[in-house]
Amino acid sequence: MTGRKMHLNAFLMGVGHHEAAWRHPRTEPSRVTDVRHYQDLARTAERGRLDSVFLADGLAVRGNVRHNAFGGLEPLTLLAALATVTERIGLIATASTTYNEPFHLARKFASLDHISGGRAGWNIVTSAGEAEALNFGIERPAHSERYDRAEEFVEVATKLWDSWADDALVIDRYTGIFSDTEKIRPIEHHGRHFHVHGPLNSSRSPQGHPLLVQAGSSEEGKEFAARHAEAVFTAQQTLEDAQEFYADLKARLPKYGRHDVKILPGISPIIGSTEREALRLERELEELITPAYGVAQLSGILGVDLSDQPLDGPLPALPASTEGAQSRFKLVTDLARRERLSIRELIGRLAGGRGHRVIAGTPEQIADQLQEWFQSGAADGFNVMPPHLPGGLEDFVDHVVPELQVRGLFRFDYEGRTLRDHYGLPRPAARRDEVAAVAS
């Protein structure tokens, strides 16, 4: 099998991405904190030879938990448990640069990379929600300030991962030398946001650096991705918007001396053996939507309280932008205006994927849609967001993946052992400043 191949990531969220999935008989909402549930999902994704599984995260209660299933498991802890029951599939976790310190996260991701044998990935977020800031006793930093901190955060984390040379470990029992301290160096970072001496208290991990993933699509987000990201999770509703984003981001790479980033739009596939069956499942899920939950979610995206607005009326006048998630704000407002949707209709459109594209159809129809985007300069692969779990992931792995394989669009087996191998990325060499070595 030759030619360009898709990259597929399984975005695991509770019992599914549709906000009403927990009410559907195909799911078991009591399992949202059951590690065995996630281990089963990871094994299913690995059976399908997917590149990776991904866990999102936030540092506050997400949405209105009166009307939605919420687990809230910390993703790095959970991924360590998934590493023990899988062998090849990548393990990507979200972690915030706004409410963490570089040393903490550099150490945790290095540990996950060691534990998993080189399968760790970091989805870098700046945390747009006000509720998260309140949990840390601060005001939410402005959008540009969050990205400024993120730039320096990644710089420090990278220095820490590089503070041990690949050959620093000697492990010579005869001489009594465990490591060559000439090859373990402090980083002596002194910047605007961070002062970190180093080195990291963990040897260099199998991948050198975890795979760096990013999901913001604002101007600052795209520049950040062009400078740092090796994969980008993004949301577009139309082929034209996806092509524009793809071309824009790829065109930004050369000024940073870079040549490639994998762009993976989110898709939520509702799969049936017939189109009629898929559309019936889509209707069943829509009929279970709780309007109060949808209003709260939409209010959070837009930064405007919509609780007193008529459900069958249009969106009220909105500010031109937000200090929250700017790219999602624009996607949602553009969708509402383009299709002249009422608040109720907009809630229904967002319920399946929070702004990501929802596709209902047979495995062949789903594969047709993915192939069109993949071959039309809109995607290097997809961030697969099953509407219900575990069945939605099983349907994708057992029926859509084989269809992509016979079309020559996806691998039949893994060709390497690390997440970087799956993405065709080299292991980065340690870039260590010439500073004093650690005292012997």
DSSP, residue by residue, 292-321: HHHHHHHHHHHTS--TTS-TTSPP----S-
Instruction: Answer yes or no: are the C-beta atoms of 423 and 230 closer than 8 Å.
Output: yes
DSSP, collapsed to helix, strand or coil, labels residue 84 as: coil
What is the mean predicted confidence (pLDDT) over 91-112?
Answer: 98
Q: How confident is the model at residue 439 (pLDDT cuts 50, 70, 90)?
A: very low
Percent of the chain whose predicted confidence (pLDDT) is above 90: 75
Q: How confident is the model at residue 175 (pLDDT cuts 50, 70, 90)?
A: very high
- Measured distance CA(177)–CA(368) in Å, rounded: 59
Burial of 139 (0-12, 13-18, 19+ CB in 10 A): exposed
pLDDT at 288 over 50: yes
What mean pLDDT, rounded, does the chain reach? Answer: 92
Cα dist from 131 to 135, 139, 296, 351, whole Å: 7, 10, 13, 21
Q: Which residues pair with 384 in a beta bridge?
A: 10, 267
Q: How confident is the model at residue 319 (pLDDT cuts 50, 70, 90)?
A: confident
- Measured distance CA(211)–CA(226) in Å, rounded: 14
- pTM to 2 decimal places: 0.90
pLDDT score at 404: 98
Q: How confident is the model at residue 325 (pLDDT cuts 50, 70, 90)?
A: low
Q: How confident is the model at residue 52 (pLDDT cuts 50, 70, 90)?
A: very high
What are 389-422's pLDDT values in tens digits? 999 999 999 999 999 999 999 999 999 999 999 9
Q: How confident is the model at residue 432 (pLDDT cuts 50, 70, 90)?
A: low
Which pair of tokens denotes residue 217? 């699509």
What is the mean predicted confidence (pLDDT) over 155-162?
Answer: 98
The radius of gyration of the chain from alpha carbons, rounded to an integer in Å, stands at 22
- Measured distance CA(393)–CA(390) in Å, rounded: 6
The CATH class of the 7-275+356-422 domain is: alpha beta
pLDDT at 54 over 80: yes
More confident residue, 57 or 353: 57
As a 3-state breakdown, the chain gives helix, strand, coil percent values, each rounded to 5, of 40, 15, 45
pLDDT score at 305: 87
What is the mean predicted confidence (pLDDT) over 45-58?
Answer: 97
pLDDT at 314 over 90: no
Percent of the chain whose predicted confidence (pLDDT) is above 70: 95
Q: How confident is the model at residue 435 (pLDDT cuts 50, 70, 90)?
A: very low
For 24-64, the DSSP string reads STT--GGGGG-HHHHHHHHHHHHHTT-SEEEE---SS--S-
What is the mean predicted confidence (pLDDT) over 215-231?
Answer: 92
pLDDT at 147 over 80: yes
pLDDT at 347 over 60: yes
**Kind of pairing, strands 231-234 and 177-179?**
unpaired
pLDDT score at 437: 54
Q: In this structure, what are the phi and psi dihedrals at residue 23, rounded to the nearest 5 degrees?
A: -90, -10
pLDDT score at 352: 72
Question: What residue segments make up the domains of the chain, in order of their start?
Answer: 7-275+356-422
More confident residue, 335 or 414: 414
pLDDT at 50 over 80: yes
pLDDT at 275 over 80: yes
| Other beta carbons less than 10 A from residue 325's beta carbon | 25
pLDDT score at 224: 96
Cα dist from 32 to 22, 41, 61, whole Å: 10, 12, 14
Q: How confident is the model at residue 336 (pLDDT cuts 50, 70, 90)?
A: confident
